[in-house]
Amino acid sequence: MSATRPALTRALLAARGIAAARPPVRIVHLGLGAFHRAHQAWYTAHAGNGAQWGIAAFTGRSPAMAGVLSCQGGLYTLIERSPAGDRREIVTSLAEARDGADVRRLASLLASPEVALVTITVTEAGYRLLTDGSPDGGDAALAADLAALRTAAASQLPPGNLGVTTMLGRLLAGLEARRRASGPAIAVVPCDNVPANGSLLSRGATLAAEFVSPALAGWIAQHVSFVSTSVDRITPRVTAADMERLNVEEQWADAAPVVTEPFRDWVLSGSFPSGRPAWEDAGAQFVADIEPWERRKLWLLNGAHTLLSFGGPLRGHETIAQAMGDPALSAMVGMWWDEASAQLPAGLGIESYRAALRDRFLNSRIEHRLAQIAEDGTRKLALRIVPVAEAELAAGRLPRAAACAMACWIASRPGRPVSLAAAIGSVSPYLAARAAFVAVVGDYLAQWARPRTSVSRLA
């Protein structure tokens, strides 16, 4: 950060004639990461009534960003990066940035009748739910949180005094505070790449609440709406070069910028009993059935990302743009899109969406690191690749691109082959011999013994 420039703050902007009033908190957000600031916070700032919908965001694993953003009054620069150049804006919708461990403040906010929404971005793993939506009984942190909440409920101890550490534990602590305050109905809006995320979280929260307190479970059933969403905006990590360039060129120094692409998409399905921002003003869509839109995004964008995150390093690539520019990997992605598209209904604008995806993937000015995408890659394979492979087999077709993704995943495992050709050559014996593979893809796919011959020519 430049030592000669003052820090970006609301007071600084006001002194320079730029409107940046702090909006009243009406949204609580769990998971203060770059994607939230590029997506939900941006949509809220661009809603026609956004000035009345401030966000209090709580960090997840690390409290560092809360400290940085608090010093800046919740302001940060959003940099939209396209081949034509950069466009910058100051996002003003973040009213508070808090350490996620500040459960007292979280409970206080959710007890307030002014707060109408909880939005969530904690990545797939942060939900700590099994595939059927039930809480993961083997997760020690979640078990400890639910036990603490149960004790507090039985003893009528303030939920804000608990040191809960998981997203679900903190959400239930906040909802219990709202129940005790006789607060109005509220909407919970998960915004992570989890299939049927609203329904999944509804089941998980309900089952967890039943363990904690029948009164809380009953209140949730009557007063909480779980909204399903599909979200889309590529948001790579900010580099030191990004920070240096921004802080040399601007009149102020920003320690928390976000870099993203111009494209954004948000589809929502569900009710908002206490109101919401007019996100449609910024392009959000509200639909009756979100599943087709969700699968379009999860399979075409996220599935292709997963394939490239495993296959790209085998070809020496580090970013999505580099990997997509590789003819062999681009061919795999094209095949994958064919397979996934065959499982989607008409009316979703598939061809135009695929064309936009190709352009977005080839945007070399968005440095989307493959290593970042590959994090928690085994879970992503199960969510994004396996359902299409199973559907293709059920339709009597050989899922060749899915086999490529599985081969690349195998190569990413410790001690496995390090080339694409070696990975593909090892798929068949791996299918037969490795229990880890069965755990990810299930017995049905693990018994499928033909991937080697179907994809070997792509090596």
pLDDT along the chain (459 residues), means of 10: 78 92 97 97 98 97 94 97 93 98 98 98 94 94 97 96 97 98 98 91 98 97 97 90 91 95 95 98 95 93 94 92 95 95 94 94 90 87 88 85 82 60 49 48 53 40
Q: How many Cα neighbours within 13 Å face the side chain of 142?
A: 21
- Residue at 3 is within a domain: no
Q: Is residue 43 part of a domain?
A: yes
Query: 173, exposed or middle or buried, with CB in 10 Å at 0-12, 13-18, 19+?
Result: buried
What is the C-alpha radius of gyration for the chain, rounded to an integer number of angstroms? 23
Query: What letter does residue 408 receive in the DSSP assignment?
Result: H
89 with 145, same domain? yes
The total of structural domains in the chain comes to 2
This prediction's pTM: 0.83
Same-domain status, 421 and 441: yes
What pLDDT score does 422 carry?
54
- Say yes or no: 375 and 305 in one domain: yes
Residues 221 and 341 placed together within one structural domain of the fold: no
Show the CA angle centred on residue 72, arms to residues 69 and 75, nearest 5°.
80
Rounded Cα–Cα distance for residues 330 and 315 (Å): 12
What is the C-alpha separation between 267 and 285, in angstroms, rounded?
Answer: 5
Q: Is residue 2 part of a domain?
A: no
> 310 and 432 in one domain?
yes
Phi, psi of 57 (to 5 degrees): -105, 135
Q: Which residue, 270, 286, 302, sits at the end of a domain? A: 286
Last residue of a domain, one of 241, 267, 286: 286
pLDDT for position 144: 97
